[in-house]
Amino acid sequence: MCGIVGIVSEKPFEVGELIKALKRLEYRGYDSVGFATDKGVVEKDVGEIKDFMTRVDLKQTAKVAISHTRWATHGGVTKTNAHPHTDCSGDIMIVHNGIIENFIELKNELKKEGHKIISDTDSELIAHFFEGKDIKKACVDFFKKVRGTFAVLIIKKGGEEIYALKKDSPLALGIADGMNIIGSDIYAFSDKTNKAIFFDDNEFAIIGPRSYEFFDKEGNPIEKHVQEFEWSSREEEKKKYKHFMIKEIKEQPIVAERLIRSLETEQKEKILELKNMIENAKRIIFVAAGTSYHASLLGTYFLHESGVEAHALIASEFNSFATVDDETLIIAISQSGETMDVIKSIKFARESGAKIASIVNVPYSSIQRLSDISLNILAGQEICVASTKTFTNQVILLLYLCSLLGYKTNFRELVRNMQNIFEQEEKIKELAKELKDKKDIYVIGRAMAYPVAREIALKLKEISYIHAEGMMGGELKHGTIALIEDGVPVISLIPEGDEDIISNTKEVEARGARTIIISSQPMKKTDFAIPSGNGGTFAILSNMIGQMLTYYIALEKGLPIDKPRNLAKSVTVK
């Protein structure tokens, strides 16, 4: 889940230009940062890029350089474990995104050959693997020898090119004027060019300032297509907001309106085609992870209400539980379009002949390119690790799809009501002050409110660092109610007409719970009111209250809201 950037240029460029490009990928990891140049300079440290930039000479120049921002997998967060890594001589310098699965075997072999391994990472072994070898020939050997996932950039002291290898982890080449830029995604270079070449699995390339050669894993030359793309060229700013999270929460009515217009116009043919694929499929399975999985649960519910049977599976367990054949439609949902578990699931399903549809936020991503059809949720760049506006737009797209199958939703009313939710912000702030010191929070719901309960609980865990459990109201009596005692907060999601969840709420109140009601039929002034009236509204609007509550609790606690500990935006490892 790391971010890598390399630049090779005809003219010398300042290291600050490289680090600026890397900063655009910091959402992929922020444990440590570093760079290496063709002059043999290697500088790295733990911490965020903004702090690193104050400690290094950004004016120093290079014609070839690579950089890395890390989310730790193998080895702790230390300066030694930070990238780039070098071989014993310091001539070979590498950055790596992914995991080398047979690293223990490889490490033992390299030690026997006399290599001195100084870090705890799997990545350092790559530098030693290429030490003293013809790099092009060694690339072929690397694909044969190494198991795992990787996007690797290699430079040599005094060299004039970058070697790039790709298997499963994302990698793209941006073609700019007098320079080529390699990055984990197009956002690394979208301010410089709109022309890219996307690496496919088991490919490597030798890249100069005005040239590139691509090869398959056997070393045979291959032709690659240069694709023009449209994506944000500017770096997102917080503007008047203290954090990206609250900015992105407040953007939801705008991005929702943009998506709805797109589904009515430029994406109309695609959404109709997906509708036809659903109607013609024998089996429909959503595959997703994290927040996107909660959106897929809502999609399953909306399809069920439309008379269509569907199921949702967690991507990391997909291969263990999915029954897939050539009459199956897989609908993959991913914010980044690079979620490794989802990619693995898609490849497994494709081998069985399944059709693949995807719902993503990042165009030209791996999942989009692996799909027979793909729809874009158009939420725009999301910087905060916590998905907020992307979740909302995923749900809106699924709602729109199901509206074509008979599920009734008033989308214009939905957008208006999203704006009205912000009128309860002061009440949310006061509640946040009360809840900030709580150790446990339970969130309960039924039907469409159940996935929302899980999503709110996830946000409370990852951003507010509070143990939270989102669950079906009907499961309370099967164990969890034993944990309810005086003062334990229970957030109860009560859509209009749901008498069963009202009963569950009374059950926890009888055991001393401090209930927080989010309802389309509020009974007390302290309840949070959700405008009722159309399908799917409650799920989206109640979740927005959960998002804001999470934000203000974390704000009260002084936590790093946009970059919570141990997490990264894009989960590109298994």
Provide the annotated active-site residues.
2, 569
Coil, strand, or helix at residue 509?
helix
Residue in the structure block whose two tokens are 């197009």: 186
Q: Which of 492, 491, 489, 488 is nearest to 502 (CA)?
A: 492
Coil, strand, or helix at residue 37?
strand
Q: Which of 55, 43, 46, 49 is nearest to 85 (CA)?
A: 43
- The side-by-side arrangement of strands in the sheet containing 92-100 is 85-86, 92-100, 148-156, 162-167, 203-207, 212-216, 221-222
What size, in residues, is the chain? 574
Structure tokens given for 219: 């070393």
Structure tokens given for 324: 């897939």
Element containing residue 393 per DSSP (H, E) = helix 389-403
Burial class, 505, CB count within 10 angstroms (exposed 0-12 / middle 13-18 / buried 19+): buried
d(CA 90, CA 549): 50
Please, which contacts does 77-82 make with residues 24 or more away whose CB atoms are closer than 8 Å?
77/31, 77/32, 77/46, 78/32, 78/46, 78/120, 79/32, 79/44, 79/45, 79/46, 80/118, 80/119, 80/120, 81/32, 81/119, 81/120, 81/121, 82/31, 82/32, 82/33, 82/34, 82/44, 82/45, 82/46
Cβ-based neighbours of 488, under 8 Å, separated by 6 or more: 440, 442, 508, 512, 513, 514
Q: How many CB atoms lie within 10 A of CB 479?
A: 9
Residue in the structure block whose two tokens are 């507010």: 464
Look up residue 28 and give its amino acid: R
d(CA 257, CA 535): 17
